[in-house]
Structure 1
């Protein structure tokens, strides 16, 4: 088994089974061993697999002790394959399933070295100040952004969030992908035909939002396309609704284990 092939984990299993402590020379050669030994009371060896037990509320959660050889693969799955979530969310997903020493540092390094995240989120050393956006009426400025969440049972993970900046009214639309044609179709069918044409459409500088398809839609509808400064992606006000959606999804999904895109997204539309 891979766990037994990992020298640190095999030492821990040996100590759990025999009660024999590892010699000081072994602990010096394996710095991570000391961290595991501090967690020894929480470790359990079941059916050939080593787990760490932790208390989450009133329930026990079992984290798989992951061999070092598998950590990079797991981080790729929980970060890259989940839509390049941020540090906190990636760490939460990893910690809910696995345990290894200095996990937070590994997650941080993974995100810092992720080329896609670096391209999308890197800030210059000195950025220009944020501009206070002034609006006076509904549909003067409508903002769009994508929220990517852990997939539900239907394997849906992308949500297009559309917000009227003046009223703070928001619409969340589950989508099969983040392509420009998908954005244009969702924007037209779920917002424009119900509420009318916005004067300005605001987004970050994502390729799909800045595509020819979106430009043609805006030109045909007489909409002015504006975008967030690359220095300040937080200038897009949709992010507040995204946090609301994530918080509601997190609590309801843990209770119901449902397909949250069918049950939660329609329920929180309009909350901001």
Structure 2
């Protein structure tokens, strides 16, 4: 266990408010155990009721080791909006990740995304659609965003 996890685990205040969580591997077999914070993300779009600004889709991005959630509302789920959201919410705030995992949506699986990822040195991984273990922490985070 790394030092940060140990400090949080031993923190009396954290224990009192029950926010102590152990960092777990995201993939089967702990493939992301070697990564540090911000190096691996899972992304997908969620559809919500349209806002007054015309934004109906939300790009949801979950950091693999901690489950940290970033969101970026957009009017349309496109490759251009995906890149803009990734740059504003992940690259500018958390640095360039090593891996990004998504489903096989057309807004993720196209030449524009492939070129952008290659130019930034990011490995883009397509996970199994509609398969909860493959989506890891992403499905849990998206559940918080959906309306009842």
What TM-score results when the alignment is normalised by the length of structure 1? 0.41
Q: Give the drift of 1:154.
A: 3.1
5 Å-filtered alignment, 1:1-272, equals 132=28, 134=30, 135-136=32-33, 137-230=36-129, 232=131, 235-236=134-135, 237-247=137-147, 250=148
In structure 2, the residue matched to 1:98 is: none
In structure 2, the residue matched to 1:261 is: none
The answer as to whether partners of 1:204 and 1:233 remain within 8 angstroms in 2 is no
Structure 1 runs not aligned, ≥5 long? 1-130, 251-272
Q: Which has the higher helix share?
A: 1
CA RMSD between the two structures: 1.9
Between the two structures, name the one with larger relative contact order (CA 8 Å, sep ≥ 6).
2
Matched positions, count: 118
The secondary structure found in structure 1 opposite 2:62 is strand
State the distance in 1 between where 2:131 and 2:89 align.
28
The secondary structure found in structure 2 opposite 1:178 is coil
CA 1:175–1:231 in structure 2 vs 1: closer, same or farther (change >3 Å)? closer
The answer as to whether partners of 1:203 and 1:226 remain within 8 angstroms in 2 is yes
In structure 1, the residue matched to 2:18 is: none
State the distance in 2 between where 1:180 and 1:142 align.
17
In structure 2, the residue matched to 1:104 is: none
The answer as to whether partners of 1:202 and 1:227 remain within 8 angstroms in 2 is yes
| Higher Rg of the two aligned structures | 1
